[in-house]
Amino acid sequence: MSLNFNFLAKILLLGEFRVGKSSMVLRYVEDRFPGDYMATIGANFLVKSVDLSLNGENVRVGLQIWDLGGHTRSTQVGRVFFQGVSGALLVYDLTRPDTLDKIPLWQDQLRKYSPNAKLYLVGNKNDLVDERQISTSEGEKAQGTFKVEHFFETSAKTGDHIQETFEHMAISLIELNRE
C-alpha cells in the first residue's frame, strides 16, 4: 500500500455497543466479516488507501478509520479520539431502536471537539429483515431531526452499501476541502 496521498482524512465510527462498527470497518478495509462479536476496548485504527475519480481527476485518498468502543462517549480518554475528525459515521442497529435514540449523545460529544466534522447517519444490519424494528422512513426522519447531511443503510455481514458509504464520505470530504 502506497502512503502517498492527495488527501488524508480521519473518519470515526460512533455508536452504541453491538451496532456493527467493527464489522463495518473490517468489511470495508479487509472485505471480511468476523462473525463472532468481540467488544472494542478503547479504539481500533485502520488505514485504507482508495483511488477515486472526482470530476475526471484521479485522487488517491488515505482514510484513517477509527472504530471507537461503545463506552468511550462518557470517558475522558474518548475525548482524544474526537479531536481532528474530518467525518464520522453515526451508526445504529436497525434491530434495536435504543441505539438510534442515543445517536444525539454521540453527535454532541463529537461536536465539542470537532465541530466541523461531516456526519453520516448509518443504519446497520439491513440483512436482518425479520428482526428489523426501524424502517427506512424512520431513519430518514432521524436524519432530518439530527441535521445530518447523508443517510445510508448497510449490512456489514453481506457488504451491502459498505463501500458506497465510506467512499461517498471520502468524496464529500475532498469536495469540502476544495471549497
For 125-179, the pLDDT digits (tens) are 999 999 999 999 999 999 999 999 999 999 999 999 999 999 999 999 998 887 6
- What is the C-alpha to C-alpha distance for residues 105 and 155, in angstroms, rounded to an integer? 23
Residues forming a β-bridge with 66: 12, 45
Tens digits of residue pLDDT in 10-41: 999 999 989 999 999 999 999 998 876 565 54
Residue 111: pLDDT band with limits 50, 70, 90: very high
Q: Which of 19, 114, 119 is nearest to 67 (CA)?
A: 19
- On the 0-12 / 13-18 / 19+ scale of CB atoms within 10 A, 24 is buried
Q: 171 and 52 in contact (C-beta within 8 Å)?
A: yes
Beta bridge partners of 153: 123
Q: Where are the domains of the chain?
A: 7-178
What is the homologous superfamily of the domain 7-178 according to CATH?
P-loop containing nucleotide triphosphate hydrolases (3.40.50.300)
Q: State the residue for C-alpha cell 500500500.
A: 1
Predicted confidence at residue 72, as pLDDT, reads 53
